[in-house]
């Protein structure tokens, strides 16, 4: 039953993503790309891209979009509700702990262990995105020389722009235009 699977997979993402929207990306990627192969890494990066440009929390946007692609509107609802269910339960429990004791106790320890874990997972996801951008493949390429010049130019430019704190919308609009222009140039050269 695809809807139950979606609900459960996204509930797991909701339990384990600590530290905001970016933290959910490697977890969603693990479920939808690696485990169930519902989509390619390229499609997933598109979801990540579009989730940044649309209003609303990035993690929810990504869950909705992924659920929609996998199983239509009911899929989008299952993924999103699944994602939020752990937050709802845990939020109520933690709020009560806090109202009663002014602290959230041993849960802090678990969260302190998860925070560095998420740093590692975001870094690993980042590297797999870089490999896709530069070589258009999902795992370390066998032929390192077969690099996509378009990917190298735009990724280098984007990194420089991001380190200079260019806004997300400006960056993505700019890279979209750059991709179109360079893609057309590349096409006319072949």
Partner 1 sequence: MSNEEMKNVAAVCPNFYWKLFQSTFLISAFTVGGGFVIIPLLRAKYVDEYGWLSDKETLNLVSIAQSMPGVVAVNASIILGYRMAGIPGALTALAATILPPLITLSSISCAYDWFAAHPYVHYALKGMQCGATALIVNVAIDLLQKQWKKRLLWPLTIIAGTFVANFFFDVNIMLLVVIDGILGLLFLRSAEYGK
- Interior angle at CA 37, CA 31 and CA 38, nearest 5: 85
DSSP 142: S
Residue 12 in the binding site for partner 1 (CB under 8 A): yes
Binding residues with partner 1: total (CB under 8 A): 105
- CB under 8 Å to 53, separation ≥6 — which residues? 168, 169, 172
Residue 159 in the binding site for partner 1 (CB under 8 A): yes
Of 4 and 34, the one with the shorter C-beta distance to partner 1 is 34
Residue 104 in the binding site for partner 1 (CB under 8 A): yes
- The residue among 62, 38, 36 whose CA lies nearest residue 48 is 62
Burial of 77 (0-12, 13-18, 19+ CB in 10 A): middle
Residue 33 in the binding site for partner 1 (CB under 8 A): no
Residue 95 in the binding site for partner 1 (CB under 8 A): yes
Q: How many CA atoms lie within 13 A of 180 on its CB side?
A: 5
Residue 147 in the binding site for partner 1 (CB under 8 A): no
Residue 4 in the binding site for partner 1 (CB under 8 A): no
Instruction: Output the CA torsion 149→164→122→69 (10° steps).
Output: -70
DSSP element (H, E) containing 36: none
Residue 150 in the binding site for partner 1 (CB under 8 A): yes
Per-residue binding letters, 42-81, with partner 1 (x by CB under 8 A) = x--xx-xxxxxxxxxxxxxx--xx--xx---x--xx--xx
Of 4 and 186, the one with the shorter C-beta distance to partner 1 is 186
CB 93 within 8 A of CB 101: no
Select from 4, 40, 111, 149 the one that contacts partner 1 (CB under 8 A).
111
Minimum distance, C-beta of residue 141 to partner 1, in the bound complex (Å) = 15
Residue 87 in the binding site for partner 1 (CB under 8 A): yes
Select from 2, 117, 137, 147 the one that contacts partner 1 (CB under 8 A).
117
Burial of 87 (0-12, 13-18, 19+ CB in 10 A): middle
Within positions 168 to 187, which residues make up the interface with partner 1, using CB under 8 A?
168-169, 171-172, 174-180, 182-184, 187
Of 36 and 129, the one with the shorter C-beta distance to partner 1 is 129
């Amino acid at each position: 039953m695809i809807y139950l699977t979606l609900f459960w997979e996204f509930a797991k993402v909701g339990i384990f993503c600590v530290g905001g929207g970016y933290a959910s990306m490697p977890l969603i990627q693990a479920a939808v790309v690696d485990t169930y192969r519902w989509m390619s890494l390229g499609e997933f990066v598109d979801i990540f891209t579009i989730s940044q440009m649309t209003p609303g929390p990035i993690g929810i946007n990504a869950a909705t979009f992924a659920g929609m692609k996998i199983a239509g509107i009911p899929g989008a609802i299952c993924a999103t509700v699944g994602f939020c269910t752990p937050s709802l339960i845990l939020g109520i429990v933690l709020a009560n702990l806090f109202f009663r004791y002014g602290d959230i106790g041993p849960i802090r320890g678990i969260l302190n262990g998860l925070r560095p874990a998420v740093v590692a997972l975001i870094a690993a996801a980042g590297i797999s995105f870089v490999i896709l951008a530069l070589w258009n493949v999902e795992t370390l390429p066998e032929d390192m020389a077969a690099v996509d010049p378009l990917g190298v130019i735009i990724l280098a430019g984007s990194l420089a722009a991001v380190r200079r704190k260019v806004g997300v919308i400006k960056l993505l609009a700019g890279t979209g235009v750059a991709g179109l222009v360079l893609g057309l140039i590349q096409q006319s050269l072949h």
